[in-house]
């Protein structure tokens, strides 16, 4: 039987094998090198942030408002509180709406055209730059009612809804169908089945999704630039401009004052810590899965 492949000389064989082996090692080396190039400086960024931020953190940071320009010893207490208020507004608006939308997608809109269109739109919305949300809130609220915490909360809320809707849907989809069947078989109406079986079983995952969305908008600056607008003093009025941590970090970082730079670093550290805690909690929670195997 004739050999279909052209006969190669020993020399060629060795050359081919060498080339392939070299290529393999090259790529492997590249991959390792890239990982090092990328990850080591990134870890360095985090370490640097911690270092710069920690040296500026003190008790006054959490209790005082910024000192007048030229003086030292101020803090960002008003920004932290302001962020909290704005985030609370955003959550009150965004979380229930997002969860309900997710319930629809998972329990009523599984295969239909409407469900798919909503799903796709939510995914695309998640990629829209957040400054556009700020413009929308500006055009709807600020134009009539001036800069306010409410407008800022609204801008953040419309960012939360598509995110939470999709994560809620994903978590509900992990609830095994036999559980719903068991409830329906007992004569429990569909709405009660969704509330007491599907949602209840998926609760840990849904909370995770909400925390993720919360952490994401907690660090957003752009939507607040012309909605909440920022405030250098204490303010609790929802219809007035309000300070927010990321917003003030932005303003202070770009300012020419050293004292404000110091505040910016400390604020950045606080923000990072809060977000890291959320991400870690989310990871731990997610590993528990949605089915509890026992108390």
Q: Verify binding: residue 264, other proteins, rule CB under 8 A.
A: yes
Least separation, in Å, of the C-beta of 92 and other proteins?
14
Tell me which stretch binds other proteins (CB under 8 A): 4-12, 64-72, 76-84, 183-191. Answer: 183-191
Q: Is residue 150 at the binding interface for other proteins, with CB under 8 A as the rule?
A: no
Q: Which of 189, 234, 239, 257 binds other proteins (CB under 8 A)?
A: 189
Pick from 79, 83, 130, 231: which binds other proteins (CB under 8 A)?
130
Stretch that binds other proteins, among 64-72, 78-86, 194-202, 231-239 (CB under 8 A): 194-202
Q: How far is the CB of 38 from other proteins (least distance, A)?
A: 5
From the list 8-16, 62-70, 232-240, 270-278, the region that binds other proteins by CB under 8 A is: 270-278
Distance CA 277, CA 280 (A): 5
Would you count residue 43 as binding other proteins (CB under 8 A)? yes
Contact residue for other proteins among 81, 151, 156, 197 (CB under 8 A): 197
Shortest CB 129 distance to other proteins, Å? 3
Query: For residues 73-112, which are near other proteins according to CB under 8 A?
Result: 96-97, 100-101, 103-105, 107-109, 111
| Least CB distance to other proteins at residue 121 (A) | 5
């Amino acid at each position: 039987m004739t050999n279909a492949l052209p006969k190669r000389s020993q020399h060629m064989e060795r050359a081919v094998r060498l080339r392939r082996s070299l290529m393999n090692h090259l790529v492997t080396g590249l991959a390792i090198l890239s990982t090092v190039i990328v990850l080591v400086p990134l870890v360095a960024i985090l370490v640097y942030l911690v270092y710069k931020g920690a040296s500026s953190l003190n008790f006054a940071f959490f209790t005082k408002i910024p000192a007048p320009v030229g003086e030292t010893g101020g803090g960002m207490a008003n920004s932290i509180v302001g962020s909290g208020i704005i985030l609370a507004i955003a959550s009150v608006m965004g979380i229930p709406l997002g969860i309900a939308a997710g319930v629809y997608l998972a329990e009523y809109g599984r295969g239909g055209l409407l469900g798919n269109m909503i799903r796709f739109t939510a995914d695309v919305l998640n990629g829209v730059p957040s400054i556009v949300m700020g413009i929308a809130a500006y055009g709807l609220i600020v134009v009539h009612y001036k800069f306010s915490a409410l407008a800022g909360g609204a801008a953040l809320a419309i960012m939360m809804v598509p995110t939470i809707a999709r994560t809620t849907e994903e978590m509900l989809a992990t609830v095994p169908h036999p559980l719903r069947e068991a409830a329906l078989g007992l004569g429990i109406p569909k709405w009660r089945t969704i509330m007491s079986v599907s949602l209840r079983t998926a609760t840990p995952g849904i909370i995770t999704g909400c925390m993720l969305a919360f952490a994401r908008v907690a660090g957003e600056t752009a939507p607040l630039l012309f909605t909440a607008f920022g405030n250098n003093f204490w303010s609790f009025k929802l219809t007035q401009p309000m300070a927010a941590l990321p917003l003030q970090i932005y303003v202070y970082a770009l300012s020419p004052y050293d004292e404000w730079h110091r505040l910016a670093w400390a604020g950045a550290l606080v923000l990072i810590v809060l977000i890291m805690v959320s991400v870690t909690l989310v990871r731990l929670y997610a590993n528990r899965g949605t089915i509890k195997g026992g108390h």
